[in-house]
C-alpha cells in the first residue's frame, strides 16, 4: 500500500512481560498489586555488592516463545549491561542481552484483509524491567516493585508496511504468548508494551528512510492510529524538504497525534559489555527438546485442524482459535455433542454474546462445556426443538443447571406424537376458518407459514416443526 507516492517501513519491538512468580535475577515477587516497594530486595534495588542469579523458568519461557516464533535457540547466550541513567534504575545499567541473544531469526504469519503476511523476527532477548517513577507535581516517588521483572523483547524485521499490518502483528504476538501461557497479554497493566519504528521512503526506493520510534502504546488500535499519524507527519516533513530526525516519540490518544520525547541514543551510547556478574547462559539440546515436546498446538495450526478434521468454515475456525480457552471449550463441547458445526454456532452466537454482556471469561462461564455439548445433543436427538433450546440455554446461563433438569422441571420436551400435533393443528385451523378458505381457493398464497407459526405458538414452541409442516400440508390439500 502506498500513501501519496510513499511507502512506509515499520519494525516493532514488543516487550513481553514473562509471567514468572519471581523476578529475572532474584526471588522477589512479581505480583502486580504489591504495596509500594514491597517486592524489593537489595538485588531489585541495585545495591552494590549484590549478585544476580538467573531465573530458570524465565529462560524456559523465552525458549518456548522462541520455538513458537520459529527462532533458532542459542546454546550459549550472553547477558550484557546496557548502561544509562534513569532514576527508576538505581544501579545505572539494565541487564539485557546484546550481540548474543537467546532467540534469533524467526517469523510469524497472520492474515490482513484475507491476505497472508509474513514478518521476520530478528531476535528475542531476555532482560530485566526498570522500576516506575510516580510523578506528584513538585516531587517524584520511585517504586521499584517492577524493577527486575523478566521481559522478553521480541524484535521484528522492518517487514511491516501498513498500520493495519502492524496492529495485526501485535495481536498475533499477544495471541501466541497467551497460548503459551508465558504472559497474560494485559496491555493496560503493561504486560505487553509495543514500540513502533516507522520510516517512509519514496515508492520504489531501496534505501530505508530515517526511523522514528513511537514508544509504549497500550492498545493495538492506538498502534494503528499512531502509525497512521506518523506516516502522514513524516511525508509532510519530507515534502517540505525537511530531514527526519531519529527520535523517540509518544502517542497522545486524546489529541490523536505523536509528540517528541527525546532524541534517540545509538547502540554505542549504551556501552554494552558482558555482565561480569553472570556466566554465559548455556542451554542444552535436552532442555530445548523437553520444551518442544510440551508445546501447545498454536492458533494457526489449530484453526487449520478445525477446518480439515471438523469441517468448520474458515471464519468459525478463526473465531474459535482466537483464544486458547475458547478453542479448548469448543473441543469439549464438540466431543460431547459430536456435532461440530452446531457446537461452533452455539459458542459463536449465544455463548460469546452472553459472556461479552456479562464481561466474563469463558473459563468463568456458568454453562460448562459438557453441559452445552449435551444441550446440542438434545436438539439433535429430537428431545427439544432448536427454538426451545434457546430458552433452555437462557435458563442454564442463569442457574447453571443441566439442560435435562430444566427440560424436565419445565416440561419442555418436544411433542413428536403425530396425534397430539394433529389435535393442535385442527384447533388452529378451526379458529382460522376464513384463512383456510382463502388458502384452499388460492385467493391468498403462502398462508402455510402463517399456519405453521400459529401451531408452533399454540404448542408453546414444543411441537416438532417437521411434523407440523407435514400434517398442515395434508390437511390443507
Question: Which residues make up the interface to ligand ADP (CB under 6 A)?
Answer: 9-13, 155-158, 197-199, 208, 211, 267
96 or 199: CB nearest ligand ADP: 199
Distance CA(58)–CA(126), nearest Å, equals 8
Distance CA(193)–CA(197), nearest Å, equals 13
| CB-CB contact of 196 with 227 (8 Å) | yes
157 or 354: CB nearest ligand ADP: 157
CB of 330: closest distance to ligand ADP in angstroms?
35
The upper half-sphere exposure of residue 205, i.e. CA atoms within 13 Å in the direction of its Cβ, equals 14
| CB-CB contact of 55 with 182 (8 Å) | no
CB of 13: closest distance to ligand ADP in angstroms?
5
155 or 375: CB nearest ligand ADP: 155
CB of 256: closest distance to ligand ADP in angstroms?
22
68 or 212: CB nearest ligand ADP: 212
Distance CA(244)–CA(265), nearest Å, equals 15
CB of 232: closest distance to ligand ADP in angstroms?
16
DSSP 341-400: HHHHHHIIIIIHHHHHHHT--GGG-SS-HHHHHHHHHHHHTTSS-HHHHHHHHHHHHHH-
Assigned C-alpha cell, 70: 520459529
247 or 354: CB nearest ligand ADP: 247
Residue nearest to ligand ADP (CB): 11
Distance CA(157)–CA(105), nearest Å, equals 9
CB of 26: closest distance to ligand ADP in angstroms?
27
CB of 392: closest distance to ligand ADP in angstroms?
52
The 8-class DSSP code of residue 295 comes to: P
Residue 463 backbone phi and psi in degrees, to 5 = -70, 145
CB of 46: closest distance to ligand ADP in angstroms?
23
Q: Which residues pair with 79 in a beta bridge?
A: 97
Buried b (16+ CB within 10 A) or exposed e, 229-267: bbbbbbbeebeeeeebeeebbbbeeeeebbeeeeebeee
79 or 272: CB nearest ligand ADP: 272
CB of 217: closest distance to ligand ADP in angstroms?
14
CB of 248: closest distance to ligand ADP in angstroms?
9
CB of 214: closest distance to ligand ADP in angstroms?
11
9 or 73: CB nearest ligand ADP: 9
165 or 316: CB nearest ligand ADP: 165
In this structure, are strands 212-217 and 247-252 parallel, antiparallel, or unpaired?
parallel
CB of 169: closest distance to ligand ADP in angstroms?
10
265 or 308: CB nearest ligand ADP: 265
| CB-CB contact of 347 with 371 (8 Å) | no
Distance CA(130)–CA(40), nearest Å, equals 12
CA distances, 227 to each of 112, 185, 204 (Å): 16, 21, 21
Buried b (16+ CB within 10 A) or exposed e, 112-138: beeeebebbbbbbbbbbbbbeeeeeee
56 or 262: CB nearest ligand ADP: 262
- For 200, the enclosing helix (H) or strand (E) is strand 192-202
158 or 373: CB nearest ligand ADP: 158
Assigned C-alpha cell, 314: 474458515
- Cα-based torsion angle of the residue sequence 227, 233, 239, 242 in order, rounded to the nearest 10 degrees: -110
Amino acid at each position: 500500500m502506498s500513501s501519496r507516492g510513499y511507502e512506509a517501513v515499520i519494525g516493532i519491538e514488543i516487550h513481553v512481560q514473562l509471567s514468572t512468580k519471581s523476578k529475572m535475577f532474584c526471588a522477589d515477587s512479581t505480583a502486580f498489586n504489591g504495596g509500594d516497594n514491597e517486592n524489593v530486595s537489595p538485588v531489585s534495588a541495585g545495591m552494590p555488592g549484590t549478585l544476580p542469579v538467573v531465573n530458570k523458568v524465565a529462560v524456559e519461557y523465552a525458549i518456548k516463545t522462541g520455538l513458537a516464533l520459529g527462532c533458532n535457540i542459542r546454546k550459549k547466550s550472553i547477558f550484557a549491561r546496557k548502561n544509562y541513567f534513569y532514576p527508576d534504575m538505581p544501579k545505572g545499567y539494565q541487564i539485557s542481552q546484546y550481540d548474543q541473544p537467546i532467540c534469533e531469526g524467526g517469523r510469524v504469519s497472520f492474515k490482513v484483509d484475507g491476505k497472508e503476511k509474513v514478518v521476520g523476527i530478528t531476535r528475542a532477548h531476555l532482560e530485566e524491567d526498570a522500576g516506575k517513577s510516580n510523578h506528584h507535581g513538585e516531587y517524584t516517588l520511585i517504586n521499584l516493585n517492577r524493577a527486575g521483572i523478566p521481559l522478553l523483547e521480541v524484535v521484528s524485521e522492518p517487514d511491516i508496511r501498513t498500520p493495519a499490518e502492524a496492529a495485526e502483528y501485535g495481536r498475533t504476538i499477544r495471541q501466541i504468548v497467551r497460548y503459551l501461557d508465558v504472559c497474560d497479554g494485559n496491555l493496560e497493566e503493561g504486560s505487553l508494551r509495543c514500540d513502533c519504528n516507522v520510516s517512509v521512503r519514496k515508492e520504489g526506493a531501496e534505501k530505508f528512510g530515517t526511523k522514528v520510534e513511537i514508544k509504549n502504546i497500550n492498545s493495538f488500535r492506538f498502534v494503528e492510529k499512531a502509525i497512521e499519524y506518523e506516516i502522514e507527519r513524516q511525508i509532510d516533513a519530507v515534502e517540505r524538504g525537511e530531514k527526519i530526525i531519529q527520535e523517540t516519540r509518544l502517542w497522545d490518544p486524546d489529541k490523536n497525534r505523536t509528540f517528541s520525547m527525546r532524541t534517540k541514543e545509538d547502540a554505542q551510547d549504551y556501552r554494552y559489555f558482558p555482565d561480569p556478574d553472570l556466566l554465559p547462559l548455556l542451554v542444552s539440546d535436552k532442555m530445548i527438546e523437553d520444551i518442544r515436546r510440551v508445546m501447545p498446538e498454536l492458533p494457526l495450526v489449530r484453526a487449520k485442524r478445525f477446518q480439515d478434521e471438523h469441517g468448520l468454515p474458515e471464519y468459525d475456525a478463526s473465531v474459535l482459535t482466537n483464544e486458547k480457552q475458547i478453542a479448548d471449550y469448543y473441543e469439549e463441547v464438540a466431543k460431547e455433542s459430536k456435532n461440530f458445526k452446531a457446537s461452533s454456532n452455539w459458542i459463536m452466537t449465544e455463548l460469546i454474546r452472553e459472556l461479552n454482556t456479562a464481561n466474563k471469561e469463558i473459563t468463568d462461564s456458568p454453562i460448562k462445556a459438557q453441559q452445552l455439548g449435551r444441550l446440542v445433543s438434545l436438539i439433535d436427538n429430537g428431545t427439544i426443538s432448536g427454538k426451545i433450546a434457546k430458552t433452555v440455554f437462557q435458563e442454564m446461563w442463569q442457574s447453571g443447571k443441566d439442560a435435562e433438569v430444566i427440560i424436565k422441571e419445565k416440561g419442555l420436551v418436544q411433542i413428536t406424537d403425530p396425534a397430539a400435533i394433529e389435535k393442535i393443528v385442527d384447533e388452529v385451523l378451526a379458529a382460522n376458518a376464513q384463512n383456510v378458505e382463502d388458502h384452499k381457493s388460492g385467493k391468498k398464497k403462502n398462508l402455510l407459514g402463517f399456519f405453521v407459526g400459529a401451531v408452533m405458538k399454540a404448542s408453546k414452541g414444543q411441537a416438532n416443526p417437521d411434523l407440523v409442516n407435514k400434517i398442515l400440508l395434508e390437511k390443507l390439500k
